[in-house]
Structure 1
Amino acid sequence: MAPPRYRAVKKNDISASFKATKPVLFSESLGRPSGLVQKIACVDWSPTGSLLATCTTATIRIWNAERPNVKSSTEIKNAHAKGGAAFGAPGVSGDNVEKIAFCPTAEGTLASSGRDGMVRLWDARIPGAATNIGGKGTALADCRTGSEGPFLTWHPNGREMLLGRVDDQIYSIDVRYMTSADGTSSYSLEATERIHRGNGTYYQMAFSNTGREVFASTKGGSVKIFDYPSMSLLHTLSGHPETTYTVQQSPAGTYVAAGSADSNITLWDTHNWFCTHTLSSLGQSTSIKDISFSYDGTYLVAGSGDMARDVGGGMAVYHVDTGEVVHTVETINCPTFVAWHPTRYWIAYAGDPGGLKVVGGAGTLV
């Protein structure tokens, strides 16, 4: 059964909708000073939005989206500990988690990449959820990639992932052939398919909504569009003089957004590939490291790469068609990672003191 979607909130009403609610803190501190909370390195919603996953460089935490109490969450410690601790072998703890991402077609499946040169799948179902096997952060399968993977992205079909290694090699991983926890199947780097080797640094890749194209942000500032799976270059979007760190296509398919070190976001019309708007980050000189569209593609938010307290706070909500800032969420610092809920006008963000927060506008069922 598909998750319920909510009626769109018009541009003139979205600010009042957000003002009617207060941000909810999902804190791991358990009463400790906020300065002791570890830096969150990634935020992602499950396909229905019932789960919310974060990672620090050492651990993965899976939250019940309706229960912000840490006691209702699941913590996966040493998820990429050297020595394979996740699969029962002796492991050495360390700061090894790189990225996490929920499978777009399986509510309980979470993927992670680490500095140990592994990609792992986890059963992310929370305690108390209806489970037949596993649950509570159980390791399901893994794949040895040979090197740390700074970015990891799912194909829309939920069967493949792209891994970008630090040496600029791009690998396609078929999750159906990953090594299972019980050892009944085997999959290693030699069996993966290296589909591309870049001649410049890629910071992120994202599939188009159809899965037939791949968008890549680059050190040179452009966004490359590749055919998938051939990885032949189709087009180059040149709109930034500095590094582009993040790129996404809107759920509606009408725009591609790219965030850059030049503090701007460019919006590209996918019909004619013109840049229709350039969005500024509230006048702050901060690199745009993360962007996210609302489920209907109407709104966009961005995360900054700078967490210095003297930069100032505030998270802008942009109206995609007009480029206007229609609301600003008050924050102490610039949020670093942002993610819209898959069916609601809720935004999860990290970077403020205290850890993860979720702020949401009102909405009614369609």
Structure 2
Amino acid sequence: MSRTEQIFEDLKSHFRNHSKVREQRAHLNKVHSVCWNADGRYLASGSFDKTAAVYCLERDRFVKGHIYRGHNASVDQLRWHRTNPDLFATASGDKTVRIWDNRTTKSAGVTSTKGENINIAWSPDGRTIAVGNKEDLITFIDTRTNKIRVEEPFSFEVNEISWNNTNDLFFLTNGLGCMHVLSYPSLEHQMTLKAHPANCICIEFGPTGKYFATGSADAQVSLWDANELACLRMISRLEWPVRTISFSHDERLLASASEDLIIDVAYTETGERVTDIHVDASTFTVAWHPKQYLLAYACDEKESGDRRRDAGNVKIYGFPE
């Protein structure tokens, strides 16, 4: 058996013994975004109920911490600072971006923008936040002053944004199945990569910098070499548009989710399935822990008679049985 085959079998065995799900009631309404902090002690979530919440991971369980209030509309996406474990930022439909300090419940900074914000990225060097709105305008904010550095409009549908790990390229996924690659900080167009035949929805760079991946409305995930900017393989097990993807801490695993009632977990080296996580409703946000094989996720509301189930719940998969 080769080393690659042995790692694959070891991963499959791990999840046969670590498949328990822990669940926390986090919000009053649908959860749009989940994200771990830099050291893995805290998990944050943003919700349609206009709040963000932070939970603390304690051994084999996680407990609810602070609720962060201040936005006047849905918190659509949030991101932690890449290295500071106490700072995270939220993008909201109320046309603001807020930075929060986990050591207090008060906002540490507020920046007003020109539109309803739907996505956000925090640069690897921690100095800049980029936020995209419904009018396809990307706003770059200086995190030290909370002032806008530059606003960059685009003539195409921008779905998600990300820096590469070396902070010198900026990526946008668009509605035509492409990724636009800009130099940073000049924001000059470098190239357009054709990734999918349909809407390119999400993008994620792996923690080690070896890979990045995109998810598309064609129900496929494409895995890319982050240095060569070359597509390595396609993962095609889901049947609905891929809304969210996440790499594990060692980049050996790639989770992807959609309106399918499973979360697919693939071995990045070959694209083979390691495990499925069965869910009761559509899943639009997933995030691997930065040090362990623990996957946080949140599902859409599930109708159950005259009640709604799972609205506002955050779950973590990967605890030992």
Q: Could you say which TM-score interval applies, normalised by the shorter chain?
A: 0.7 to 0.9
The question of 1:239 aligning with 2:195 is answered yes
Query: Matches of 1:323 and 1:275 in 2, distance apart?
Result: 13
Question: Which structure has the larger Rg?
Answer: 1
Q: Which residue of 1 aligns with 2:44?
A: 53
Query: Matches of 2:46 and 2:95 in 1, distance apart?
Result: 17
Cα pair 1:17 1:361 within 8 Å, conserved: no
Q: Which residue of 1 aligns with 2:90?
A: 112
Cα pair 1:18 1:359 within 8 Å, conserved: no
Q: Deviations over 1:260-318 (max 9, x none)?
A: 01100111223443322111143x2x1111111111111100121x3xxxx5x221111
1:217-296 matches, within 5 Å, as: 217-282=173-238, 284=239, 286-296=240-250
Query: Matches of 1:102 and 1:271 in 2, distance apart?
Result: 24
Cα pair 2:21 2:319 within 8 Å, conserved: no
1:1-366 matches, within 5 Å, as: 10-21=7-18, 22-28=20-26, 38-57=29-48, 58-66=50-58, 72-77=64-69, 79-81=70-72, 95-125=73-103, 135=104, 137-178=105-146, 187=147, 192-282=148-238, 284=239, 286-304=240-258, 306=259, 311=260, 313-351=261-299, 353-354=309-310, 355-360=313-318
Query: Matches of 1:249 and 1:80 in 2, distance apart?
Result: 28
Query: Matches of 2:228 and 2:115 in 1, distance apart?
Result: 38
TM-align CA RMSD: 2.0
Larger deviation: 111-120 or 353-362? Answer: 353-362
Change beyond 3 A, Cα 1:28–1:208: closer
Query: Matches of 1:361 and 1:296 in 2, distance apart?
Result: 18
C-alpha displacement of 1:103:
1.1
SS at match of 2:214: strand
Q: Deviations over 1:107-133 (max 9, x none)?
A: 1111112222111111123xxxxxxxx
Gapped runs of 5+ residues in structure 1?
1-8, 30-36, 82-94, 126-134, 179-186
Gapped runs of 5+ residues in structure 2?
1-5, 301-308
Cα pair 2:131 2:140 within 8 Å, conserved: yes
SS at match of 2:160: strand
Question: Structure 2 length normalisation: TM-score?
Answer: 0.88
Query: Matches of 2:182 and 2:55 in 1, distance apart?
Result: 35
Query: Matches of 2:62 and 2:222 in 1, distance apart?
Result: 37
Cα pair 2:46 2:90 within 8 Å, conserved: no
Query: Matches of 1:107 and 1:262 in 2, distance apart?
Result: 36
Question: Structure 1 length normalisation: TM-score?
Answer: 0.78
SS at match of 1:163: strand
C-alpha displacement of 1:212:
0.5
Residue 13 of structure 2 aligns with an amino acid whose one-letter code is: A
C-alpha displacement of 1:13:
1.3
